[in-house]
Amino acid sequence: MPSTADILASAFGLPRSRSRGSGSSRNSSPARHRRHSGDMPRSSAPPSLNLNTKDVAPASTKATYTDGSIASSPTANTPAPSSPATPSSPSIPVQHLTRRHKTTSDASHRRSGSAFGSSRTALGPPPKATNDSGVELPFGSRRASPRTSMDMPRPSMEKSVLSLDSGRSSMSADWPTHPYELNTIAELDRLPQGTEVNFRARIATQRQLSKALDFLLFRDQTHSVQGVLSREHVDMVKWVQKLAPESLVQVNGILKTPPEPIRSATHSGVESLRNRMNSRILDLRHPSNQALFRIRSVVARTFRDTLEKEGFVEINTPKLQPAATESGAAVFKVNYFGRNAFLAQSPQLAKQMAISADFGRVFEVGPVFRAENSNTHRHLTEYTGLDIEMAIEHDYHEVMNVIDDFLKAVFKNVYAMPEVKEVQKRWPSGEFKYLDETLVLDFREGIRMLREDGRDVEEEDLSTPDEMRLGQLVLEKYNTDYYILDKFPASARPFYTHKDSEDPNWTRSFDIFLRGQEICSGGQRINDPHELRQNMLDAGMSEEGMEDYMTAFDLGAPPHAGAGLGLERIVAWMLELGDVRYASLFHRDPKSLPERSPGLAHPEADTTKPQAAGAPPPIEKLIANYGDASNTSWLDERFEIWRHPTGAAVGFVKQEKFAMVTGDPLCDRSQYKEVCSAFVKYVLTELRLTPVWMLVSYEVQKILAQQLGWRTLSCTEEQRVDTNKHHNSTGGPKARRVEREGVKIHEVKADDEFISRANPAIEEWKASRKGKQIHLTEVRPWVDMEHRRYFAAEKDGKVQALVVLAKLSAKHGWQVKWALDFPGSVNGAIEVLIEFTLSSVTGQVTFGVGVSEKLTPGEHLHGIRARFLATTYNSIVESLGLRRKAGFRSKFGALGEEVYICYPKHGVGLRDLNQIIKFFQD
């Protein structure tokens, strides 16, 4: 098993203790060292670019930084700047950057910026422009090239490569591309090798082989291309290497074939749903998301096309309604000029009124609002509804047939799209199966199938697990992922649903399912005003606010039926995304729209407000305003506190040549970038120490990596419990045993009398510990008592166990700062005390940092080093049982949230690694 020094050396990008050869990767073929960031797969044999910095076009390349500023790259006659206009970190290294197979149909035109004039083809000699009479037009006049993608031979992906070389090919020399003419990456696979091209794209990843050689991956929507940049004048390469990931650049280069096809590729771990949604703009740039929303667009367009062919009229109904009643779903209440109004939970009432107005057949594509506090994979508080309503001639199956035609058209159109393969790279899915003649299953038959499967279900609406299991049974029996469940019970349907004429306990209604999950509800509506009023009365509903709706039926309405579908659900279940949030551009769920400044415990310690000179807010108040668990360690005597002019704080410990930092800066999140940069500058220039920043959030590690080029990794996690969801087991066997033993579990006031009884137990506990202790903070329970709560287990006046809660920010709630099980305590007392403590607070509670199940490489840490480190870490954690503490905390429902270790690329030497271990030891 590797030594601890070997593991840490690998984590910090250092050679292991035994001698190893160096430079082997640089001497090998570039094709063998390709890397990818994120989860972006690559084609088997991509094209690449050699960037021609020698023959730079007269127009300067522009790079847009993340803050929106623009810097121009040097031209051939202009010295390159030593750094970009705004600070940016070196990009993630990538040796070869490769264009994947295209996933959308190629555009037959090229995009051109408004400042660059006309556009013409770069495939061969520019044809003379003439008008319809054959008269030659002046140079620069717009006329389509006679050679298009339709008649152009298309090189295979295995042979087509884009390279921007230091020399031009004979083709580009004979037929030079105009420097202001722009191609798209999607067009490059149609161009011959040696063609000079210009395009705009974002830098997806970057690998810096040397000061004079750089590999880049350029990305434009669903396409990417690999580039190789080299130059005798190295300032140009150095300038490019300082560009941040996601910078928008304009590129000039020569298409070339890669020396050999890609045989393998690696990628870092997929970002969690939470992180991806918190960085949605960056996430949406991913080719799979670009493809996904093109598919979503096709679904909506197919809906419109299908219904318009069937004679439907598109309508737009109001989203502000006077009444909160419809189907019993929760609604959002709004202030409408001092009067109550409600956001429409569907266009149901309005589209029925349109039928009464003799529109005959109507549909709508629009937002739907549901105020249901459902944090599941299938619920949104705002989604896009696809609604239809139509007068019927015979029965409600007419509307069912229309929807069936629409969905089959969707399946046909979507699965003919090349974008599906791009989506499947990120969200793998099985074959989607459906029948030529759609299966329509009676609700009672579905119940029978579930009961035969051993499930105890009643003849009521199905639960989500029942729906999913029924979908599996239908697939096994009928070989289809798509089916309709017909004739639902009346108890599961809204008041306006028409009851079955043969049995009033059942209704003329249906649901439609994809892969076992519901995407549509529909059925026939009541058109008799007397029956409608009786149903409302039976449901305990008032007509107040619904007068217009009832008038529509008093004036006479034909028999009609309709349905509502969720666009996000259709896309999510068809493609097996796993969560409807992925199918929503900017999702809204119960956790969306958080307060920007959530209830500061001490408003006077707000770092976004001006602070009195020389009087920064006390650190204790900043912890209560902004802190997480790691910040509470800053109250230990060994920590020094650095203060920013805004009042923000960073705690650190000087240890030989290092400044050891733990936790995020104590300030508003909007100030992280400013405070981190200022603190690092202070440590480097004034203290002349090397900073190592540990146990920070995802957001802070991104700043340190992108702004400063630091390496990051995660092998620790903040172990949190949501007490609002935690099941309290204080009445279990252990609790009863503790009660029989006469142990009192209660919250205590930490006065002098209690402290005098607790201190001897604490000292006895300290003395009972054996061996070296790994910890972040000292046991000092009586510090900052203003922000502490104390809970104790006592028997006969002796303290048996003690739990101390520390107040954190509103976002993070509380920390179980210490949970001390004193020697000689009653068995189980500490567990019961912790359960009691958790039941005494609401919201988030963290137990602090624990060991993760696996090591996750972060920024600038990849390849063999990362794989070796992760494998070794996993074996050591398993063999030494380092997760035992996390296992104990899991009894209380604790879930891990990654925190990160960050350090400068070349700031830690092999001999220095023990200093990091020493920091956490007694």
Q: Identify the active-site residue in 202, 469, 515, 569.
A: 569
Amino acid at residue number 11 = A
Residue 35 · residue 93 · CB < 8 Å: yes
Radius of gyration of the chain (CA): 33
Instruction: Identify the H or E element spanning 444.
Output: helix 443-452
For the question of residue 445 being annotated catalytic, the response is no
Taken in order 749, 750, 753, 755, the sign of the CA dihedral is positive
For the question of residue 569 being annotated catalytic, the response is yes
What is residue 207's three-state secondary structure? strand
The token pair that represents 51 in the structure block: 């960037």
The token pair that represents 882 in the structure block: 């380092």
Maximum Cα–Cα distance across the chain? 109
By DSSP bridging, strand 814-821 and strand 798-807 are antiparallel
Q: Identify the active-site residue in 196, 518, 831, 859.
A: 518
Q: Identify the active-site residue in 158, 271, 310, 372.
A: 372
Q: How far apart are CA 538 and CA 820, in angstroms?
A: 58
Q: Identify the active-site residue in 99, 286, 378, 515.
A: 378
Q: Which of 573, 223, 577, 296 is nearest to 427 (CA)?
A: 577
Q: Identify the active-site residue in 172, 521, 714, 852.
A: 521
For the question of residue 232 being annotated catalytic, the response is no
* Cα distances (Å, whole numbers) of residue 312 to 411, 468, 494, 564, 850: 21, 33, 25, 15, 59
Residue 406 · residue 482 · CB < 8 Å: no
The token pair that represents 211 in the structure block: 């000061």
Beta-ladder partners of 249: 201
Q: What is the DSSP string of 798-823?
A: EEEEEEEEEE--TTT-EEEEEEEE-T
Q: How far apart are CA 649 and CA 542, in angstroms?
A: 57
Residue 426 · residue 538 · CB < 8 Å: no
For the question of residue 370 being annotated catalytic, the response is yes
List all residues 6 or more positions away from 389 whose beta carbon is below 8 Å from its beta carbon: 351, 352, 354, 355, 361, 362, 363, 525, 560, 561, 562
Q: Identify the active-site residue in 178, 190, 370, 711.
A: 370
* Cα distances (Å, whole numbers) of residue 838 to 136, 288, 606: 84, 42, 29
Query: CA angle 632-845-586, nearest 5°?
Result: 105
For the question of residue 202 being annotated catalytic, the response is no
Q: Which of 695, 648, 692 is nearest to 670 (CA)?
A: 648
Q: What is the DSSP string of 585-609?
A: TT-B-TT-S--SS---S-GGG-TTS
Supply φ then ψ for residue 854, to 5 degrees: -145, 160
The residues assigned a catalytic role are: 370, 372, 378-379, 518, 521, 569
